[in-house]
Chains A and B, each alone.
Chain A
């Protein structure tokens, strides 16, 4: 009578056993890797918008300060989106015939809001506040990236809780003088105060307790 299990069966069994053990591990590893991938974190994904607004032109070429349009960034949790009146403040004079601006003009005269798509979308149980970050020396570019180089706004940082906490635990490397808060090109120069000095000057004491962000 032939053996039921030939010597090869040992190998098969080992491979199967190894497979059974590694498959879930690989699966978990895969999910873990996916969760940290730019795809899962929404990084660098262009989001279609109702108006082809180009930050490269406005923030870059024209060097308009961020706060001209995002006017509540220093006082409110929300940085604020410009009203159509803000757009037409300039575009009633310049490019006032541009077909690209047709939706803006229509919206303004019809008194209907433009439904922009949110790019930096935090979960609803996160209460982020722009004003406190800006007043403590965290610049726009730190979280939003080089907006002046983006034809359409994309998310530059993961905006994950771990990423937030990294800075809340050690904010100094991300601080800059308040005069350069909206600057896209600022680099610490030799004459600039050291990060620790900035932290002291602006009384930077970020908290890491749950209710700091979750309420």
Chain B
């Protein structure tokens, strides 16, 4: 079939004036780039094929029969509406007013360190998580995982009650038995006692662990995390002689070299670093920073790089050494004299090395090198060395003493445990680390070993592989059900306070450890409070006041530290560099990644995170084997082909996903998948591939020697990258700094300004004129806004099959575009939601006036008028309207209902919905201000996506306030309207994404 533009020669389908060929075309998938006929056919249709079909297992006839019966029964039963029940409190708590949500400050430990939270609670039901603006590691933002924490809280598949070998027991019974056992163990110094804990910065836990160590000197207290930070600490040990945490001021940096480091989304201070990084990416604020990312896969930080240098993961080390050599030889940097004679060059990458080293040398103390957690200690040590000689260690970097126990905590720990247990040397094992049996590396048969432990205690959030082999299974409390404490990287301490009584009798780590520390009589609340009481030295009522103050603010004042000083041990690093023996990487390399959404697998059962599209692959509900286009071609693999990945004699089968920008000869696989999902489906299905089956203790992240064999089957995955296609129009705009500066006064002139109109324009006279602006230069594409929108607006999860059909319900999606060649593309993330057009095409076509415009510029959606014609969605050029094809909440339990936002209607089947600019927040703010007869504080009024954004990419506000941030951005030279030529006059402005590439690498 000829393309749309040929069949319908309408002006609106032609390229808008000024667009032609200036900017490379953007594309979302290789299929789109290559013009796959299936995709073209799909794009012809407004809705994907089969979009209107009922779900599998219920054909149309059966559905009509059921519908008829239901209607008849409903008709009889509905003569009188049953009276709704109202339950007042027996004694009303003084702080609770029905209808007014409360907010409580608490914190959680995403990577062992604190991130502050403020949780909204309606009459004791937590419904929304926000970041704590006063917490240094949050600054008001959260990541996507924190937004989805509530799903875990209300998950009915959690472990309920204490069980001993499957028999329900009281927690008191546990305390009694373990106290007795502990006194028995005390006799021989704790021989046979093992503790397997997660890294945690909790001061109270540290105190308990210290007590246990003193009481049982021969006990083994080990820290384990499948995604351990061993390399970070080992690297610091090598460079500084002791483990240290590094924090970088990216807003001050002018050149950043990230060595396989996804610092924008991973690491204990990622939110703050992402915000500071984004502030250095604005051309109007003077010098922009330049980011080089060296990595194998294409991660979120890589997506934001000015230069994404692809290489096998094992070659990153060679690259940084080549940079080191170049800086020593060519630039003669002081402090690197001893490397001048070393042969460190890498001829194949000479051009990149020269450019990177030149940039680092030029920027001196404002240039920084950061290494990722997966890279070996030597890379970290060299990074520290380079920062020291460049001078950035003093200017941009703060070093902190680790708040967690910086001990070896990788897979090696499990091997030792397994050996000890199999040999019968473990009598009592207390595990609070996440599912060690599942995350254990190849060759460690921990499950069988655990069965030999007479007293294996496991604090589990859900029944899993480890709980099957444990003697005692204790229900873990959710972070919002727990008392506790924690510290941020900079030392800032926070108290964790519960938002709700444990729903399933959950217990905290402190509960579980208490009998061994000899404090079984104390609750976690008492333990934490008494710990801090001792710290302050205050007592009684005076301390109670202080304590209440801490809880209210969410941080403990005065606990922040200034960082520490350390000097790089040049000779230690030198001997390490001299020992570097490059074994050339042979053939294909296996590259294991921490799960972006699953982490080590602990969020596998979280439906929001399952459905959230991965920022790069847009995969939901599974992982896939990621390959570069060139490698896929060499191996004659197509997307969705199933392959057998064989590594050191063990194999898994995975579908192929061809990821533009991925390194050649490398296959990346995310950890944390490949387990049974029992969610809604009648038959549990395995989602994704378990990459732990290929993980070896000596090669926890990457190694060569992978074999890939194509199978005859086709694999399956759900990716939304081609949904809501934009047919190659100029939607996501990215330019280089040079191009922007050159065109500045006229920049994107064809995408702003007045357009011809058929209808008289409506005069917006009311005070507030709601509008949004999305700065693509700041947006890093992390996807936190997607989940925040879901939480705020009661957006349902539709499931894997429905995502495959293109029925995902997200009001806000983050489209990911590529620009350039498939091998070396530049990625552009673009949050896309209802644009609230002043001339909204959807409104003209609704036959029942279910979507109308307000005098304040909102495109309103009235669910109770909607009859589901879907004309509006058909006519929406931005493809942001979502239709409830099915009842997505047929089996919602009473517990899950607690998590709904009561301020937003839960939509039923057959109704259209879309972004409302969080109108419930507008109206709440309006009522509050009208009551007090003052104007709305539009700066304090935030939409959910704006509030969560770590990088301030999204702002919401009113255009009538000329000095507001949203008005400023609407007048920014970089601003443009998506599909401006259609004359829809959207209220959401986008600011073009400006890149700052190195001219040396740009040409030639």
Contacts and interface: CB of A to CB of B under 8 A. Distances in A.
B840 to A, nearest CB: 14
Interface in B33-86: 81, 83-86
Interface string A60-90: 0000000000001001111011111110000
B97 A113 contact: no
A131 B904 CA distance: 19
B860 A211 contact: yes
Interface in B922-967: 922-923, 927, 930-931, 933
A114 B88 contact: yes
A75 B100 contact: yes
A200 to B, nearest CB: 12
A211 B84 contact: no
Contacts of A82: 88
B902 to A, nearest CB: 9
B188 interface: no
Interface in A116-162: 116-119, 121, 123-125, 127, 129, 131-132, 135-136
Contact of A211 (B87, B100, B919): B919
Contacts of B81: 42, 121
A182 to B, nearest CB: 17
A83 B91 contact: yes
Contact of B100 (A76, A118, A124, A215): A76
A123 B84 CA distance: 11
Interface string A191-214: 000000000001101000111101
B86 A203 contact: no
Contacts of B852: 209-210
A76 B902 CA distance: 14
B87 A80 contact: no
Given A209-B855, A212-B923, A83 B90 contact: yes
Nearest to B932: A135
A215 B925 CA distance: 14
Contacts of B904: 215
Interface residues of B, number: 36
Interface string B888-922: 00000000000000011100000000001001101
A132 B927 contact: yes
A107 interface: yes
Nearest to B920: A215
Contact of A78 (B98, B860, B864): B98
B89 A116 contact: no
Nearest to A72: B97
A203 B905 contact: no
A116 B84 CA distance: 8
Contacts of B84: 117-118, 121
A127 B99 CA distance: 11
A202 B824 CA distance: 63
Nearest to B854: A209
A203 B930 contact: yes
B423 interface: no
A166 interface: no
Contacts of B927: 77, 129, 131-132
Given A211-B858, A211-B916, A85 B92 contact: yes
A29 interface: no
Contacts of B97: 72, 75-76, 80
B92 A83 contact: yes
Contacts of A107: 90
A124 B905 contact: yes
B445 to A, nearest CB: 51
A177 to B, nearest CB: 16
A127 B863 CA distance: 13
B923 A127 contact: yes
A202 to B, nearest CB: 8
Given A211-B854, A215-B920, A125 B88 contact: no
Contacts of B92: 83, 85-86
B1001 interface: no
Contacts of A212: 923
Nearest to B89: A83
Nearest to B863: A125
Interface in A27-83: 42, 47, 72, 75-78, 80-83
Contacts of A113: 87-90
B863 A114 contact: no
A115 interface: yes
A114 B860 contact: no
A179 interface: no
Nearest to B123: A78
B12 interface: no
Contacts of A118: 83-86
Given A85-B92, A114-B88, A117-B83, A76 B923 contact: no
A214 B86 contact: no
Contacts of B922: 211
A123 B906 CA distance: 12
Nearest to B852: A210
B862 interface: yes
A78 B903 contact: no
Nearest to A201: B933
A113 B98 CA distance: 15
B931 A135 contact: yes
Given A132-B930, A210-B862, A215-B920, A77 B99 contact: yes
A81 B864 contact: no
Contacts of B91: 83-85
Contacts of B99: 72, 76-78, 80
A205 B931 CA distance: 11
A215 B905 contact: yes
Given A77-B99, A78-B99, A211 B89 contact: no
A205 B856 CA distance: 14
Contacts of B83: 47, 117-119, 121
Nearest to A85: B91
Contacts of A209: 852, 854-856, 858, 860
Contacts of B87: 113-116
A211 B927 CA distance: 13
Given A76-B100, A84-B91, A203 B855 contact: no
Nearest to B82: A117
A47 B97 CA distance: 26
Contacts of A202: 933
A214 B88 contact: no
Interface string B87-119: 111111000011110000000000000000000
Contacts of B905: 124-125, 214-215
Contacts of B933: 202-203
B85 A116 contact: yes
Given A72-B98, A125-B863, A210-B854, A116 B916 contact: no
B860 A117 contact: no
The 4 closest A-B pairs by CB, nearest first: A76-B99, A78-B99, A117-B83, A113-B87
19 contacts: A72-B97, A72-B98, A80-B99, A114-B88, A115-B87, A117-B84, A117-B86, A118-B85, A118-B86, A125-B863, A127-B903, A209-B855, A209-B856, A211-B858, A211-B916, A215-B905, A215-B916, A215-B919, A215-B920
Given A78-B99, A121-B81, A215-B905, 14 more contacts: A76-B100, A77-B99, A77-B927, A86-B92, A112-B90, A115-B85, A117-B83, A118-B86, A127-B920, A136-B930, A203-B930, A210-B860, A211-B919, A211-B922
